[in-house]
Amino acid sequence: AQSVAQPEDQVNVAEGNPLTVKCTYSVSGNPYLFWYVQYPNRGLQFLLKYITGDNLVKGSYGFEAEFNKSQTSFHLKKPSALVSDSALYFCAVSWGYQKVTFGTGTKLQVIP
């Protein structure tokens, strides 16, 4: 079965420090991987995606993610966290036709 896991319910990081939000997936075939962010009382917003090509993907607001096929991971990273990055982050994986599965979400708290 296709699945995506976000092993951490919450990640705390000090402002200015690098941040990582983890995502692993299980998909037969080649996956399409996405990261979305949800601010309080808002819908999800697209951050970045991996379809094919370069394993390091750059996205909005200074975020990037690295696709690692051998570890089946797609961790979200940012070199220097901002307080305004505090939000709920979702990893999603697509496969086949029209099928998409979201992770359970990771709450990122950036501490001033």
Please report, as ranges, the residues that interact with other proteins according to CB under 8 A: 6, 32, 34, 36, 41-46, 49, 51, 90, 92, 94-105
Q: How far is the CB of 17 from other proteins (least distance, A)?
A: 26
Q: Between 80 and 104, name the residue whose CB sits nearer to other proteins.
A: 104
Q: Between 87 and 103, name the residue whose CB sits nearer to other proteins.
A: 103
Residues 6+ apart with CB under 8 A from 98: none
Task: State whether residue 62 is helix, strand or coil.
Answer: helix
